[in-house]
Amino acid sequence: MILFDLLWRFMLISVVAFGGGQAALPLMERVAVAERAWLTPAMFSTAVAFGYITPGPVLIVATFVGFQVAGIPGAAVATLGAFLLPWLFAALAAGQIQRMTRSPVLKAFGQGAAPAVVGLLGVTLLSLAGEALVDGARIAIAAVAAVLVARTKIHPVWILMGGAMVGFFTSR
């Protein structure tokens, strides 16, 4: 039953998370942490951090959640749930993309959905910050990372790796 629960919930998340993997994070957090208690907030924060440093989409966090809940079968089912419907919808819509981009209904949808996604990401940011920014060293790492992303062309992976190394050495 847990495998079906993982599949169903990640299929729902993937269908309603317009805007890509980052848009799915608030929904994943609500399901995995708040509703089902599959992960602690700290575990979810770690999963998101690893999701950003691995190649591929951020939705790889679904694989982590599934693994924590039900091992390898859970990882496989959660990953399938996260990617099956978007893949199917993309395959079905591929021939219609040009026509759809001119649709006034789709444009209106995007004008309302985009700000909603920003709001969802803001809530996720606040939740993750509450878990990650617990002392001066971690706040400094976050501040330096924000400045580096905003003002340099350093790839985010290097910034994440640098933050991880500083965290490793300052926590020992």
Predicted confidence at residue 37, as pLDDT, reads: 95
- Specify the 3-state DSSP secondary structure of 108: helix
Identify the residue with better confidence: 110 or 79. 79
Tens digit of each residue's pLDDT (9 = 90 or more) over 43-59: 998 888 888 777 667 78
C-beta atoms surrounding 131 within 10 Å: 16
Angle, CA 23 vertex, CA 108 and CA 51 arms, to 5°? 155
> 149, 157 in Cβ contact below 8 A?
no
pLDDT tier at 29, thresholds 50, 70, 90: very high
Angle, CA 47 vertex, CA 46 and CA 50 arms, to 5°? 85
Mean pLDDT of 111-140: 88
